[in-house]
Amino acid sequence: MGDQFLDAKAAPDFYCDELARKLLVQPFPLAQEAGHSYWPCYAERRRNILKNMTYRGWLA
């Protein structure tokens, strides 16, 4: 991800494995329930592009 900032406060399920393996560090004990879901959205003609397929696989 380079210099990109990842705001993962609302989705601890997305990174719990990385925390356990010490790939990410949680500098303070803050987690926030968002109360909503995230859905990947893109044009149907782009659904079989490798990066979209990889992202769907990661979410599953």
Its domain, for residue 19, covers: 7-33
Report yes or no on 29 lying in a domain: yes
| Per-residue model confidence (pLDDT) at position 49 | 92
Q: How confident is the model at residue 58 (pLDDT cuts 50, 70, 90)?
A: confident
Report yes or no on 28 lying in a domain: yes
Residues 6+ apart with CB under 8 A from 15: 8, 24
| Per-residue model confidence (pLDDT) at position 50 | 94
**Whole-angstrom distance between the N-terminal and C-terminal Cα of the chain?**
21
What is the pTM for the complete model shown? 0.40
Domains contained in the chain, number: 1
Report yes or no on 17 lying in a domain: yes
Q: Mind listing the pLDDT tens digit for each residue in 8-57? A: 555 667 778 888 888 877 776 766 666 767 777 888 899 899 998 998 88
